[in-house]
């Protein structure tokens, strides 16, 4: 069974940056690099918003237009961990941030998600 | 930008059938996924690739597709099914992921 375990809650001031991690906790032999990993956020009382994905074997990325220039997704395959950094934070970035695994493993991409992390609450407040 | 449209709310009595629709121009070409989200929890996939049900999801959950509309059907709704439901797909090119606005199911 595979789990995505995210880092803990963060409180940041406007203008600061935040980096959230997402670690795959899995059985021996699990191929972390075989998937795309997506990031999704949810502001308080609002719906889900897709931010982008990272292809874990190559590090290639694809960001939603809204976040281009302000979001960076990276990974460290040696520890089965992906990261998502948001810079120049504003109050509207206050949200729960989720990582989610693309449901297609191997050299493919589905655009749908089969496993989600537990979420990381990021609060932006002066 | 591409959008998926869901009704904001659906209300049914226990034992009835709930149907939640999701409309989008690219749905004839791209698969849809449905997620259930309960308060304070991460979403869980209940239907993938329009109509496939993951293991562990009750049989009362089903999905269908017709033209530009996909539908999540919950037969014999139970109190535990009360949650927010989101449809999700990609744009025509498959490049960008999109969520519907979500539907609050009240039982």
B64-84 confidence digits (pLDDT tens): 999 999 999 999 999 999 999
Q: Is B3 on the interface with A (CB under 8 A)?
A: no
For residues B69 and B66, what is the distance between their CA atoms, to the nearest angstrom?
Answer: 5
pLDDT in tens, B84-103: 999 999 999 988 999 999 99
Nearest CA in chain B to A109: B94
Kindly provide the residue ranges of all beta strands, DSSP E only, lying in A16-112, ordered along the sequence. 18-25, 36-42, 48-55, 61-63, 71-76, 81-86, 95-102
Phi, psi for residue A44 in degrees, rounded to 5: -55, 125
CA distance readout (Å), A12 to A5, A41, A99: 21, 16, 20
pLDDT in tens, A22-71: 999 988 888 888 999 999 999 999 999 999 999 999 999 999 999 999 99
A88: which 2 tokens? 């120049």
pLDDT in tens, B24-40: 999 999 999 999 999 99
Q: Is B99 on the interface with A (CB under 8 A)?
A: yes
DSSP annotation of B78 reads -
Partner-chain contact A112 B33, CB within 8 Å = yes
Q: Is A48 on the interface with B (CB under 8 A)?
A: yes
């Amino acid at each position: 069974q595979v789990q995505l375990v995210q880092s803990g809650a963060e409180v940041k001031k406007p203008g600061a940056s935040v980096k959230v991690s997402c670690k795959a906790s899995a059985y021996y032999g699990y191929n972390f690099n075989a998937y795309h990993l997506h990031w999704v956020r949810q502001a308080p009382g609002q719906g889900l918003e897709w931010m982008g994905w990272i292809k874990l074997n190559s590090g290639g990325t694809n960001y939603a237009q809204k976040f281009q220039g302000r979001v960076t997704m990276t990974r460290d395959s040696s520890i089965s961990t992906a990261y998502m950094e948001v810079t120049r934070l504003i109050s509207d970035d206050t949200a729960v941030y989720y990582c989610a695994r693309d449901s297609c493993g191997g050299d493919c991409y589905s655009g749908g998600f089969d496993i989600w992390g537990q979420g990381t609450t990021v609060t932006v407040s002066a | 930008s591409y959008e998926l449209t869901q009704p904001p709310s659906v209300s049914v009595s226990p034992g009835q059938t709930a149907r939640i629709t999701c409309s989008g121009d690219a749905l004839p070409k791209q698969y849809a996924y449905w997620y259930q989200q309960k308060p304070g929890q991460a979403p869980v996939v209940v239907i993938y690739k329009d109509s496939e049900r993951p293991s562990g999801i009750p049989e009362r959950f089903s999905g269908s597709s017709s033209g530009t509309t996909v539908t999540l059907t919950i037969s014999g709704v139970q109190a535990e099914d009360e949650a927010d439901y989101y449809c999700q797909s990609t744009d025509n090119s498959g490049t960008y992921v999109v969520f519907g606005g979500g539907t609050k199911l009240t039982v």
